[in-house]
Homo-oligomer: A and B are copies of this chain.
């Protein structure tokens, strides 16, 4: 900055004013400064700026993996909306999804230059780590169960499951089987809850729960087990990937979807339109989830009031060709 000032024949303060678009600089001076900046390739040092302002204009995002569609889509939405607000996103990976792993991430976080944090994980894992949470750093949690101690944003998992199951019951299926996500996942648990309560409220039998691990392979294995169940005419898979595996299993075993078995997924990943057959599934609005996360976390950064509690983003059922009335 001093170099620019010297070159332009002004003081450093004037350079600062030009650089920040402050008023009170005569055009001719401004142009000289601008020219000097150009020639010297000057760019403001963000560390010094951050030091001065006490803010980094950066939000940290903690997550386990980008391998799931939901995580990466949500992240993308967060990045985009943060950029609109002039905030950058710093990624903090959690190597292993255990308490120790989370603890490590939060320790690293302590040294990081972030004004706020968006955490994508289950609250029960977060609890172990909150001791490490720098005080005064706003936190928003995504993809977790509702919890009034934190500011939570999430897709309305339960309602999505309810819509899926209702749709199948309305088509005439006596009951609906469910291929859930892994046991330790609260998201999986909540989708399962929506499934179970809907069946119970309708007075239908609740078949045993089948657990997968979100992967298509696990859906395939679940499907191989389900083809032998005589009364299994409708399956609700907790995500689209497992639904893909189900479709393959049924296909291999000669069951035609939707004639013999109906299948509903969850997520509405782009590929699901090209499954065989195109998949009826619960659409998640990842972009909206990301948007709300950024909005709520920035409200806190700007010291506007934010009450703890859960913001639910609605889902909607997308009807395609994998569901129909049960076989006569």
**Interface residues in chain A, defined as those with a beta carbon under 8 Å from any beta carbon in chain B:** 41, 43-48, 50-51, 56, 58, 65-67, 72-73, 75-76, 79-80, 83, 88-93, 95, 108, 110-113, 134-135, 215-217, 219-220, 241, 244-245, 247-248, 251, 270-271, 273-276, 278
| A65 contact from B76, B215, B248, B276, Cβ within 8 A | B76
User: Least Cβ distance of A47 to chain B in Å?
Assistant: 4
Copies of this chain: 2
Between-chain CB contacts (< 8 Å), 30 pairs? A43-B134, A44-B111, A45-B51, A46-B111, A47-B48, A47-B50, A47-B56, A48-B51, A51-B51, A56-B113, A58-B113, A66-B75, A66-B79, A67-B76, A79-B91, A80-B93, A89-B90, A91-B91, A216-B271, A216-B273, A216-B274, A217-B273, A220-B274, A241-B270, A244-B274, A244-B275, A247-B276, A248-B276, A251-B276, A276-B276
Give the chain B neighbours of A45 by CB distance below 8 A. Answer: 51
Point out the residues of chain B lying under 8 angstroms from A51, CB to CB.
45, 47-48, 51
Other than the given A66-B73, A217-B273, 6 more pairs (CB < 8 A) read: A47-B48, A48-B51, A88-B108, A89-B91, A245-B274, A247-B276
Contacts of A215 in B (CB 8 A): 270
A274's nearest neighbour on chain B, judged by CB, is: B216
Per the bound structure, the CA–CA distance linking A219 and B273 in Å amounts to 11
| B93 near A41: Cβ-Cβ < 8 Å | no
A43 touches B79 (CB 8 A): no
A95 touches B80 (CB 8 A): yes
- What chain B residues lie within 8 Å of A47 (beta carbons)? 47-48, 50-51, 56, 113
Would you give the shortest CB distance from A80 to chain B, in whole angstroms?
A: 6
Q: Could you tell me if B73 and A67 are in contact, using CB atoms closer than 8 angstroms?
A: yes
Query: Which residue of B41, B216, B275 is within 8 Å of A270 (Cβ)?
Result: B216
A274 touches B219 (CB 8 A): yes
Of all chain B residues, the one with the shortest Cβ separation from A44 is B111
Among residues of B, the one whose C-beta sits closest to the C-beta of A89 is: B91
Q: Is the CB of A83 within 8 A of B76?
A: no
**Closest chain B CB from A62 CB (angstroms):** 11
Chain B: minimal CB distance from A109 (Å): 9
**What is the distance, in angstroms, from A105's C-beta to the closest C-beta of chain B?**
9
Are A83 and B65 in touch, CB under 8 angstroms?
no
A72 proximity list for chain B (CB < 8 A): 66-67, 72
Q: Which 4 A-B pairs have the closest CB atoms?
A: A216-B274, A47-B50, A72-B72, A66-B76
Please report the C-alpha to C-alpha distance between residue A8 and residue B244 in the assembled complex, in whole angstroms: 61
In the bound complex, do residue B73 and residue A83 qualify as a contact, i.e. CB atoms below 8 Å apart? no
- A241: B residues at CB distance < 8 A: 270-271, 274
Whether A112 lies near B134 (C-beta < 8 A) is no
Cα-based distance from A221 to B67 in the complex (angstroms): 27
Bound form: Cα–Cα A203–B230 in Å: 55
Q: Is the CB–CB distance between B217 and A41 below 8 Å?
A: no
A83 CB contacts on chain B under 8 angstroms: 92-93, 95, 108
